Structure 1
Amino acid sequence: MSNPLIVVFGSSRTKEQCHLDAAERLGELLVAAGFDVGSGGYTAVMNAVSKGAHQAGGHVIGYTTDEFPAATPSRWLTEERRTADIHLRIRSMLAEGDGFIATWGGIGTLVEVAFAWNVGQFIAERGLPHKPLLLVGAHWQPLVQSIAAQTEIGSSVLSYPVLVDTVEEAVAYLRENIGNKK
């Protein structure tokens, strides 16, 4: 039996060392807590979380796509799950993940968060097993507030993503709410 899989969404472009360090630490902490780690499988935050997880001895899955033929998958992956297109890539991450963490990112990260949020609502409405979505960092709060102010979604939907300040808080939440083997 494999460990629960946590999929991390994050930037493919950032060069900010603080974001990369936090992602690498996140990978280490997830493995120490008994989770397998997944990501988009390429550069920047995705590479850093994969590196941290791999160096901690974890199973690291990269969800890559044929739509990025020039992109090289992270060397820290232990498994590559290649899809034909970006839509299948996101669908695979959401179907296979037991929980999700979003860190610093761009529009791709935002799309992944929106899909995870929508799927989380769908799952909750049907009484299926909960798949937490954690948004790490203060930069997510204004976005969630804007969504609350500018859309017609209810409080149960707004409460689905869990806002935390640090990767340590994110992993602690997942330990309590998903469980682990360690």
Structure 2
Amino acid sequence: MNSLGVFCGANPGNNCLYTEAAELLGKLMARQQIALVYGGGKVGLMGAIADSVLAGGGTVVGVIPQSLVDREVAHTGITEQHVVQTMHERKALMAARADAFVAMPGGFGTFDEICEIITWNQLGIIKKPVAFLNVAGYYDRFFEMIDHSVGEGFINPGLRDKLIIEANPELLLQKLVQAAATASDDWVDFKRI
């Protein structure tokens, strides 16, 4: 695995463990020479993980809409910053650049982004591992809802079983590296997005 797409909050959240996990994940990624592909911001958990990867000598690729650049939230010190026009373009470029994906704590944007990646896997648009860094049980209720949907016949249990859930950044990264090594296709069919 050469690159990891990370979706996370533009806020740090109310628990310092979220920032600590972002910093640790970034440090581990830099050490293993796994490039960060993320939303291009300098604030919140996004800024924390980007700064951590950079501090470790790693590569950081940002993808940010012009509207957010205009609000002065773009990180100006990263390796590459791609400015796009829409959120849809942002997600498509991140999907093309990352070998796997992880959702850290975040809000509606994070939920939207990781659910879209899961859906693209379900539809065969991409075949890339998806994980959740479940810091302090942040995603416990999210997975209760997913399990409820499985029970009600709306989500295939096989797809649910492929989602990696881990509270420890080091174990999460190990599991993603293993899963990415067995992923059969590394492509994005933009005609189907």
Q: Return the TM-score normalized by structure 2.
A: 0.82
Which residue identity is paired with 1:93? Answer: M
CA-to-aligned-CA distance 1:112-168 (integer Å, 9 cap, x gap): 111111112223xx8x6x411110112223212212313611111212321111111
Structure 1 unaligned segments of length 5 or more: list them. Answer: none
Which residue identity is paired with 2:84? Answer: T
What residue number does 1:97 align with? 98
Q: Is the partner of 1:134 in helix, strand or coil?
A: strand
Q: 2:130 aligns with which of 109, 128, 133?
A: 133
Q: Contact between 1:60 and 1:76, CA under 8 Å: does it hold in 2?
A: no
Q: Contact between 1:33 and 1:175, CA under 8 Å: does it hold in 2?
A: no
Q: Is the partner of 1:100 in helix, strand or coil?
A: strand
What residue number does 1:6 align with? 4
Q: Return the TM-score normalized by structure 1.
A: 0.86
Q: Contact between 2:37 and 2:97, CA under 8 Å: does it hold in 1?
A: no
What residue number does 2:171 align with? 169
After superposition, residues 10-159 of structure 1 pair within 5 angstroms as 10-15=8-13, 16-42=15-41, 43-68=43-68, 69-123=70-124, 130-137=127-134, 138-150=137-149, 152-159=154-161
Higher mean Cα deviation, 159-168 or 11-20?
Answer: 11-20
Structure 2 Cα separation of the partners of residues 72 and 23 of structure 1: 18
Higher mean Cα deviation, 58-67 or 153-162?
Answer: 153-162
Aligned length, in residue pairs? 173
Q: Is the partner of 1:178 in helix, strand or coil?
A: helix
Structure 2 Cα separation of the partners of residues 58 and 26 of structure 1: 12
CA-to-aligned-CA distance 1:87-117 (integer Å, 9 cap, x gap): 1111211122100111110110000111111
What residue number does 2:188 align with? none
Q: Contact between 1:47 and 1:76, CA under 8 Å: does it hold in 2?
A: no
User: Greater helix share, 1 or 2?
Assistant: 2
Q: Is the partner of 1:19 in helix, strand or coil?
A: helix
Structure 1 Cα separation of the partners of residues 171 and 9 of structure 2: 20
What residue number does 1:178 align with? 180
Structure 2 Cα separation of the partners of residues 76 and 17 of structure 1: 24
Structure 2 unaligned segments of length 5 or more: list them. Answer: 182-193
| 1:31 Cα deviation after fit | 1.8
Which stretches of structure 1, 4 residues or longer, exceed 4 Å deviation after superposition? none
Cα RMSD after superposing both structures: 1.8
Structure 2 Cα separation of the partners of residues 157 and 67 of structure 1: 34
